[in-house]
Amino acid sequence: MRRRRILVIAGAAVVVIALVAGLIAALAPKGDDTASGTPSASSSLSAKPSRSASPSATPSPSESLTPPGFDKTQFSIDDPASIWVVSDKLRPLNPVDYAPADLKAMPIPTTWGAVPYLRQPAADALTAMTQQYTAETGLSIQIQSDYRSYASQVKVYNGWVASKGQAAADLTSARPGFSEHQTGLAVDLVGVPAKCGLNACFADTPQGLWLASNAYKWGFILRYPQGLTPVTGFEFEPWHYRYVGVELATEMHDTGVQTLEQFFGLPAAPDYA
């Protein structure tokens, strides 16, 4: 009797052990999924591209909002009718007897008493600039030289040669066909009265100081700066201003580039070819 009880208990123990083993096996994680070729749910989700990914060809907001660099090809530097034309001792006007078609009279006093003329955009800008100067200071600016035709430049240049010799004249006056005055975009300015007219001391007059600081706002640049004769070919002329438009004048002012030759990467022009 006792033996039968032992056998029954032993059998029950075996059954319990088997049940426990089966339950453990059922609850254990299936390690074979990772090793097999069937991806798990988590691995298939990680394989999808993230929502933040974008095609490489699409610029980021910071790139698309970045303004482009200054476009130096907006206007010709060779066409004499362009407001950006560069005329120096290596770059004669083409044709040499070019005459602008849009000359406009200006209500600005002159040292010779006649009505002055420049090309229309330069005339409008100069009129506005001189009026602003008078409004700010109570002083006046007048014109020493305005547009000159080819024939007029012949007379002016020959006069300088006669009085100073050709070598000295070439530092002060452009040869016919090379003059910025012939473009109708250049002007020589002096004060009222004409103290230091066509002299370096004009730079230290109230008019000279104001122009040096403010002319760019109206599209004018000081064409022949101090110390850059090896680049421009002309002595320091604090009275000689050239109209190039507000955009270019402002760019040159902001970048500190003083001459058109340097800005456009042109050869220095200390002498005629």
Tokens 């220095």 belong to 268
- Return the pLDDT at 246: 99
Q: Which two tokens stand for residue 37?
A: 């070729």
**CA–CA dist 197, 189 (Å, integer):** 8
* 189: β partners: 143
* Per-residue pLDDT tens listing for the chain (273 residues): 444 444 334 444 444 444 444 444 444 444 333 333 333 333 333 333 333 333 334 333 334 333 468 999 999 999 999 999 999 999 999 999 999 999 999 999 999 999 999 999 999 999 999 999 999 999 999 999 999 999 999 999 999 999 999 999 999 999 999 999 999 999 999 999 998 989 999 999 999 999 999 999 999 999 999 999 999 999 999 999 999 999 999 999 999 999 999 999 999 999 999
pTM over 0.85: no
- Return the pLDDT at 178: 99
- Return the pLDDT at 254: 97
- Return the pLDDT at 1: 44
- Return the pLDDT at 195: 85
**CA–CA dist 271, 91 (Å, integer):** 11
DSSP-derived secondary structure for the chain: -HHHHHHHHHHHHHHHHHHHHHHHHHHS--THHHHSSSPPHHHHHHTSPPTT---TTSPPHHHHHSPPPP-TTSS-SS-TTSTT---BTTB--SSTT---S-EEE----BSSSSPPEEEHHHHHHHHHHHHHHHHHHS--EEEEE----HHHHHHHHHHHHHHH-HHHHHHHSPPTTS-GGGGT-EEEEEESS-TTTTSGGGGGSHHHHHHHHHGGGGTEEESS-TT-HHHHSS---TTEEEE--HHHHHHHHHHT---HHHHTTPPP-SS--
| Structural domains for the chain | 103-263 (3.30.1380.10)
Q: State how far Cα 206 lies from the chain centre.
A: 29
